[in-house]
C-alpha cells in the first residue's frame, strides 16, 4: 500500500516535541494575550491535538486578524503557483508564539519619537533615517611595525614523501 | 558506558539513562501543583484579553488552613487577599483550627475581607445566618458579585471534605463561586439531596461536640489526651455552637487584617549557610592542605622516631 498524503503525513519529526521537553506545556503559553495586528510565529505543539494548523504553516509568521475564546486567527502568506495568497487560519494558542520580527521597528519608532521630540524642543533639524555601514575609515599603521612578506615555499619532493616513501 | 563498580548485578542507571532523563516541572516534582487542573483554572478566554481570572485557593497544613484569592500572571501569581486559620484567635477561636467549622470561618473571613477591599461588602452580605442550605449570591442592581473559582489543589474531593466547608464559608460570605451541593457534608447519595440539618451541624462543630460527649462517657482518658487543648481553654461540648456563632458575628463585624505587634528583629535569623566568596574558598583550601601536610609530616616524624 502506498504512503498516503493525509493531513498530518510526513510530520513524524516536525510535530514531535523537543528532546526532554515533552509533557505538559508551561503556563506562559496560556497566559499570553494577543491583539489584532500582532505578529505571531506559528509553531505546532504536537502534544495539543486540537486546533493544529496544517504542516505547511509550521514556521510561518503572520498577523493576527481575529481573537476567539481559545484560538487566534492568523493571516499567513502562501505562494500558490505564480502568486502569493494571504491565507487566514484559526490556530489554538498553544501553537502560536509572539514573533520578534517586528520588535526592532517598534523599538526604533519609540527611540525616534523620543529623538524627534528632543530635537523639536531644541529647535534642531535631525534625520532619523538609518544609514548603511560605510567603508571603514583610513588609519596609520603603527610606527615601528615590521612588514612580514609571506610567500609560498617552493615544492620539496623529499619532505613530502617522508610519510609514505 | 557502565560505571565500573564492584556490583554483582548489572548497573541499572547507565549514562544514557541520565542523559535522556527529563525532570518534571519544579512544582510537580515537589508534589505541590497539579498542572492539569491549573491549566484549566487559569486559562482565560483570549477575547477577554487581560481580564484576570481569580481562584479561591484552599490549602490545609497540619495545623492551619490557608485561604487565598489569587490571580495568575507570567511573572508569578498575585494574591489579592488571604486568610489563615491562626488569625481566628482574634475573633475568639483558639482551638480546633483545622476542622470543618474552622474551615467555614476561614472561608467566611476571606470573603468578607476581599469584599471589603473591593468595597462591595455592604451590597453583598451573603447568608448571615448559617443554615446549611445551599446558598448562592443574587446579583444586585448596581454591581455584579465577585466571581472566583474554587482551587482544591491535590486533595481528594470526597463528600464532607473540609475544603467544601471553606467553600461554604466563602459562599455565605457573599462570593460568587460556581458549585454544586453534592460534596457538602450531609449530602445523602441515596436521596441525592443535601440534608441542611446535618450540614448546619458540621458548620457549628456539632460533629466535634458529639465526639467529645461520646468520649467523655466511654473513654474519659482518651478524651483528656485528645481534647487537652479544648479543656485547657475551657471549651465544653455544649458551648461549641455558641462559640462559633460569636466567631461568625465577630468576623462580619471587622474582617480587616490585624498587624502583629511583634517588632521585626534588626538582624534576621539565617536558616541556611552563607555562600563563601572565591577568596574565602581558596583560603579554606590552603588551610586544609597545610593541615594535611603538617599531619603527614608529624606522622613521618613519628615513624622515623619509632624506627
- Asked if B38 reaches chain A (Cβ–Cβ under 8 Å), the answer is yes
Sheet of A96-98, strand order: A83-92, A71-80, A61-67, A39-42, A96-98
Q: pLDDT band at B5, cuts 50/70/90?
A: low
d(CA A42, CA A76) in angstroms, rounded, equals 9
- For B247, the grid coordinates are 466567631
Q: Which pLDDT does position B179 carry in this prediction?
A: 95
Q: Which residue, B51, B3, B55, is CA-closest to B167?
A: B55
Q: Each residue of B31-60: pLDDT tens digit?
A: 999 999 999 999 999 999 999 999 999 999
| Mean pLDDT value across residues B72-84 | 95
pLDDT at B2 over 80: no
Q: What is the mean pLDDT of residues A21-44?
A: 95
Query: How far apart, in whole angstroms, are the C-alpha atoms of residue B77 and residue B71?
Result: 6
Alpha-carbon distance B33 to B77, whole Å? 13
Q: Is the CB of B47 less than 8 angstroms away from the CB of A68?
A: yes
> Is B49–A33 a contact, with Cβ atoms under 8 angstroms apart?
yes
Judge whether B21 is closer than 8 Å to chain A, CB to CB: yes
Model confidence at B6: pLDDT above 70? no
Residues B144-203 have pLDDT tens digits of 999 999 999 999 999 999 999 999 999 999 999 999 999 999 999 898 999 999 999 999
| Per-residue pLDDT tens digits for B263-273 | 888 888 888 88
Q: Let me know: does A80 contact A69? Beta carbons within 8 Å.
A: no
Find the CB nearest B25 among A24, A32, A68.
A24
Q: Please give, rounded to a whole number of angstroms, the shortest distance from the CA of A36 to a CA of chain B.
A: 10
Say which residues have a Cβ less than 8 Å from residue B21's Cβ, sequence separation at least 6.
A20
A109-138 pLDDT per residue, tens:
999 999 999 999 999 999 999 999 999 999
Query: Mean pLDDT for chain B?
Result: 92
Closest-CA distance, B79 to chain A, in angstroms, reads 16
**d(CA A83, nearest CA chain B) in Å:** 33
Residue B51: per-residue pLDDT: 95
Predicted local confidence at residue A141, as pLDDT: 84
pLDDT of residue A153: 86
Residue B209 has pLDDT above 90, yes or no: yes
Interface test with B, best of A17, A27, A67, A90 (most B CBs within 10 A): A27
> Does the pLDDT at position A165 exceed 60?
no
CB pairs below 8 Å between A and B: how many? 50
Mark yes or no for CB contact A68/B36 under 8 Å: no
Average pLDDT over residues B114-132: 91
Q: Show residues of chain B in contact with A21, CB under 8 Å.
A: 22
Interface touch B38/A71, C-beta < 8 Å: no
Q: Tell me the residues of A at the B interface, defined by beta carbons under 8 Å apart.
A: 20-28, 30-35, 67-72, 93
Gap from A69 CA to chain B (nearest CA, Å): 4
B239 touches A at CB < 8 Å: no
Q: Other C-beta atoms within 10 Å of B146: how many?
A: 20
Q: Quick one: which of A7, A89, A97, A95 has its CA closest to A46?
A: A95
pLDDT at B307: 57
C-beta atoms of B39 and A24 within 8 A: yes
Q: Is B49 within 8 Å of chain A by CB?
A: yes
pLDDT tens figures, B7-37:
677 878 999 999 999 999 999 999 999 999 9
Pick the closest to residue B79 from B148, B126, B145, B176 (CA basis): B148
Give the pLDDT score at B7: 60
Chain B 72-111, residues with CB within 8 Å of chain A CB atoms: 72-74
Q: Which pLDDT does position A162 carry in this prediction?
A: 67
Q: What is the ipTM of this complex?
A: 0.78
* pLDDT at residue number A120: 94
CA distance B104 to B58: 11
3-state secondary structure of B101: helix
**Best of B41, B42, B44, B47 to mutate (most A CBs within 10 Å, chain A):** B47
- pLDDT tens-digit map of A51-84: 999 999 999 999 999 999 999 999 999 999 999 9
- B46 in contact with A, Cβ within 8 Å: yes
Tell me: the pLDDT tens digits for A131-160? Answer: 999 999 999 888 888 888 999 988 877 776
Residues of chain B found within 8 Å of residue A68, distances taken between Cβ atoms: 46-47
The H or E element containing residue B275 is none
Question: Rounded to whole angstroms, what are the CA distances from A100 to A17, A25, B80?
Answer: 22, 21, 33
Share of chain B above pLDDT 70, in %: 97
Is the pLDDT confidence value at B141 over 90? no
Confidence (pLDDT) at B19: 95
Minimal C-alpha gap between A64 and chain B (Å): 12
Residue B50 CA to residue B40 CA, distance in Å, equals: 17
Amino acid at each position: 500500500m502506498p504512503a498516503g498524503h493525509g493531513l498530518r503525513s510526513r510530520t513524524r519529526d516536525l510535530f514531535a516535541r523537543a528532546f526532554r521537553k515533552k509533557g505538559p506545556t508551561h503556563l506562559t503559553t496560556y497566559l499570553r494575550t494577543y491583539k489584532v495586528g500582532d505578529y505571531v510565529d506559528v509553531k505546532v505543539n504536537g502534544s495539543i491535538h486540537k486546533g493544529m494548523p496544517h504542516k505547511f504553516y509550521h514556521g510561518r509568521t503572520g498577523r493576527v486578524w481575529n481573537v476567539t475564546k481559545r484560538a487566534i486567527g492568523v493571516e499567513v502568506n502562501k505562494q500558490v503557483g505564480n502568486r502569493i495568497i494571504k491565507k487566514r487560519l484559526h490556530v489554538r494558542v498553544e501553537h502560536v508564539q509572539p514573533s520578534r520580527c517586528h520588535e526592532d521597528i517598534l523599538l526604533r519608532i519609540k527611540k525616534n519619537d523620543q529623538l524627534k521630540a528632543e530635537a523639536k524642543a531644541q529647535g534642531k533639524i535631525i534625520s532619523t533615517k538609518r544609514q548603511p555601514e560605510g567603508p571603514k575609515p583610513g588609519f596609520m599603521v603603527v610606527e615601528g611595525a615590521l612588514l612580514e612578506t609571506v610567500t609560498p615555499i617552493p615544492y620539496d619532493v623529499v619532505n613530502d614523501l617522508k610519510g609514505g616513501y | 558506558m557502565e560505571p565500573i563498580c564492584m556490583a554483582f548485578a548489572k548497573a541499572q542507571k547507565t549514562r544514557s539513562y541520565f542523559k535522556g532523563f527529563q525532570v518534571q516541572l519544579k512544582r510537580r516534582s515537589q508534589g505541590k501543583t497539579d498542572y492539569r487542573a491549573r491549566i484549566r483554572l487559569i486559562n482565560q478566554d483570549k477575547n477577554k484579553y487581560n481580564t484576570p481570572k481569580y481562584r479561591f485557593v484552599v490549602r490545609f497544613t497540619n495545623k492551619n488552613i490557608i485561604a487565598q484569592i489569587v490571580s495568575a500572571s507570567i511573572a508569578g501569581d498575585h494574591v489579592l487577599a488571604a486568610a489563615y486559620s491562626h488569625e481566628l484567635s482574634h475573633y475568639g477561636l483558639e482551638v480546633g483550627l483545622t476542622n470543618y467549622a474552622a474551615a467555614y470561618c476561614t472561608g467566611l473571613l476571606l470573603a468578607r475581607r476581599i469584599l471589603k477591599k473591593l468595597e462591595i461588602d455592604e451590597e453583598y452580605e451573603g447568608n448571615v445566618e448559617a443554615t446549611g442550605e445551599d446558598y448562592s449570591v443574587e446579583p444586585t442592581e448596581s454591581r455584579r458579585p465577585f466571581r472566583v473559582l474554587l482551587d482544591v489543589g491535590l486533595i481528594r474531593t470526597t463528600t464532607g471534605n473540609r475544603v467544601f466547608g471553606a467553600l461554604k464559608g466563602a459562599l455565605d460570605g457573599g462570593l460568587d463561586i460556581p458549585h454544586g451541593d453534592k460534596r457538602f457534608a450531609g449530602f445523602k447519595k441515596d436521596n441525592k439531596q443535601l440534608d441542611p440539618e446535618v450540614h448546619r451541624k458540621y458548620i457549628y462543630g456539632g460533629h466535634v461536640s458529639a465526639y467529645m460527649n461520646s468520649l467523655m462517657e466511654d473513654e474519659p482518658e482518651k478524651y483528656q489526651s485528645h481534647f487537652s487543648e479544648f479543656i485547657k481553654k475551657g471549651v465544653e461540648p455544649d458551648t461549641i455552637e455558641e462559640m462559633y456563632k460569636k466567631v461568625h458575628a465577630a468576623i462580619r463585624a471587622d474582617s480587616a487584617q490585624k498587624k502583629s505587634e511583634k517588632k521585626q528583629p534588626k538582624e534576621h535569623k539565617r536558616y541556611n549557610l552563607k555562600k563563601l566568596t572565591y577568596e574565602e574558598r581558596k583560603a579554606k583550601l590552603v588551610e586544609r592542605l597545610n593541615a594535611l601536610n603538617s599531619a603527614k609530616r608529624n606522622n613521618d616524624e613519628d615513624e622515623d622516631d619509632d624506627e
